[in-house]
A = this chain, B = another copy of it.
Amino acid sequence: MRATTIHGPYDIRVEDVPDPRVEQPDDAVVHVLRACVCGSDLWAYRGQSARVPGQRIGHEFVGTVVATGSRVRSVRPGDLVLAPFTWSDGACVFCTERLPTSCTNGGMWGAVGSDGGQGEGVRVPFADGTLVKVPAGAASDERLLRGLLALTDVMGTGHHAAVSAGARPGATVAVVGDGAVGLCAVLAARLLGAEHVIALGRHPDRLRLAREFGAADTITERGEAAVTAVREATGGHGVHAAIEAVGSAEAMRTAVGVTRPGGAIGWVGAPHGSGEGLDVGALFMNNLTLRGGIAPVRSYIPELLPRVLDGTLDPSPVFDSAITLESIADGYRAMDERSALKVLVTPT
């Protein structure tokens, strides 16, 4: 089959790789209908996260089951499924505690030895613990298919950020970062009942989408000016809940700076320097909570999926560009240059 590989910084290729097949009794093989490029793929693309030359890449996909191992019970060939960005056995102590990202048998698509999401097919370990069956009719509904694809990562990650930050009825929420995760966090904060959501970013078109998603205010200032602007918008005290959806020192510094004493920072940006933005003195004196991490999106699917299916939650607009698998390198370039927010990839 054809699949995306990364050979070094800015070197994304589409190559022939072995067809996926059932290797273990718990495996399923999924034919990918839609995949996409993630902001976190850019850390590897830019050389900020190490990769073995030729390693697969991509961790978001929706597709059709084409084969299953002898122990698989929850899905069968022909089913439309989505996969969270990590696989998990669904049975270990951490899966039981709704933390499948810490599954003792878990892993992430694109890890060495596994298939990535940006290809024609994927061998899925622990299919029962990993895959979620969705109504077959969604396959012919492009908007819905995109909404389901968002549940594999960005929507679940944005939700984890909002939950971790303590977004709730009556709360003020600041979302630092206008990437797809930040925008989904706006949706999630509103879904959780947050009263006043403030989106911080640099791109007018993305902030326009943040408003469509329910942000009451948008702020384009950065650094200290951003902190001042958020404080002014919240009676001087800051927000109850801040969301750090970037993973950089500056974003974390802003999140800490805008949070009200006793408030919480929900962080989901893969840390690339964000530790430097953690002013522990400020955390201490203001009793700020830092909560979050790699999002256990599998655990959120049962509550978010019905909302996507009934249309009350629609993250599909985060996909503002669509390409074929063969031109995926263009998609990476567009996201790296920020001319695309999130690129949808259709393998065939």
Q: Which residues of chain A have a CB within 8 Å of any CB of chain B?
A: 93-94, 97, 99, 101-102, 237, 261-262, 267, 270-271, 274-275, 278, 280-281, 283-294, 296
CB neighbours of A285 from chain B (8 A): 101-102, 293-294
CB neighbours of A102 from chain B (8 A): 261-262, 285-287
Q: Considering only CB atoms, which chain B residue lies closest to A267 in the complex?
A: B284
Q: In angstroms, how far is the closest chain B Cβ from the Cβ of A89?
A: 15
CB pair B284 A93 closer than 8 Å = no
CB neighbours of A237 from chain B (8 A): 93
CB pair B287 A292 closer than 8 Å = yes
A-B contact pairs, 30 of them (CB 8 A): A93-B237, A94-B261, A94-B262, A97-B262, A99-B261, A99-B262, A101-B285, A101-B287, A102-B261, A102-B285, A102-B286, A102-B287, A267-B284, A270-B284, A271-B280, A274-B280, A275-B278, A275-B280, A278-B278, A278-B280, A283-B293, A284-B292, A284-B293, A284-B294, A285-B294, A287-B292, A288-B293, A289-B290, A289-B291, A291-B291
CB neighbours of A267 from chain B (8 A): 284
Q: Considering only CB atoms, which chain B residue lies closest to A285 in the complex?
A: B294
CB pair A99 B287 closer than 8 Å = yes
The 10 A-B residue pairs with the shortest CB-CB distance, nearest first, are A102-B261, A287-B293, A275-B280, A289-B291, A290-B290, A284-B293, A99-B262, A271-B280, A271-B284, A94-B261
